[in-house]
Amino acid sequence: MKLAILIPAYNEEKALGQVIKTLPKEFPGITQIEVVVVNDGSTDKTAEVARQNNVTVLSHVINRGLGGALGTGFEYIRNHNFDVLVTFDADGQHNPDDIYPVIKPLIEKNAEVVIGTRMKERKGMPWYRQIGNFGLNFITFMFYWVWTTDSQSGLRAFGKKAIDQIEIVANRMEVSSDFFNEIGRLQLKMAEVPIQPIYTEYSLAKGQKNINGFSILFKIIYRRLFAK
């Protein structure tokens, strides 16, 4: 099975190199691994750092946002016939050891989408992040009728059917909630696996802010009412 590790990155020169270096080089059941970094219009040396680490680099001329970066990555991975795709944040928040537990249900054909959830074991997660996360989980459920304990997790994995059929239309942070629209629309079998994120001052500064929830809610409502 071919695995793609997709890393969306915007101005992440400080953390990206170390993130790439710590990624495992092999997994049981996986015969080929390719790391794909989407440089989302960075104004620093993000693209240069990625190339120095010998990974595939796809670059946007302008910053399109998380959804735009993931959309570009999905298109590349779909066109290169990968069996498993895992998204991984560039800021050092994710533990590389969590990748295999997240992709294992896909390798064993027990799921088509897997969410790495931070909400099963909340050690180290600030209380205000827990509140914000629950609010976005509730919003996601209200509009898409798919319940998850961590709608905003950046560590997710997708099997072949999901890679080929998921449509990413959002350009920015609301893409995380939109994935659950696609899971419901395509009737994909979803599983959740507990992960233990690494919280640092840097990753907390880079992560999802509670205030972003209002923007996400507005965009979801707008598309539900007016998008064709």
- 124 pLDDT band, cuts 50/70/90, is low
If you average pLDDT over residues 61-75, what whole number do you get?
Answer: 97
In the chain, how many domains are there?
Answer: 1
CATH number at residue 182: 3.90.550.10
The pLDDT, as a whole number, for residue 218 is 65
Predicted confidence (pLDDT) per residue in 32-66, tens digit: 999 999 999 999 999 999 999 999 999 999 999 99
Identify which has the larger pLDDT, 134 or 208: 134
Nearest to 195 by CA among 57, 79, 129, 96: 96
The pLDDT, as a whole number, for residue 172 is 82
Predicted confidence (pLDDT) per residue in 8-31, tens digit: 999 999 999 999 999 999 999 999
Provide the domain limits for residue 41: 2-226
Judge if pTM exceeds 0.75.
yes
pLDDT of residue 118 exceeding 80, the answer is: yes
Identify which has the larger pLDDT, 14 or 177: 14
The pLDDT, as a whole number, for residue 101 is 98
The pLDDT, as a whole number, for residue 213 is 56
For the chain, the average pLDDT equals 88
The pLDDT, as a whole number, for residue 220 is 63
Q: Alpha-carbon distance 175 to 162, whole Å?
A: 15
If you average pLDDT over residues 119-129, what whole number do you get?
Answer: 64
Neighbours of 221 (CB within 10 A): 12
pLDDT of residue 123 exceeding 70, the answer is: no
The pLDDT, as a whole number, for residue 120 is 66
Range 136-139 contact pairs with CB under 8 angstroms and sequence separation of 24 or more: 136/176, 136/177, 136/213, 136/216, 139/177, 139/213, 139/216, 139/217, 139/220
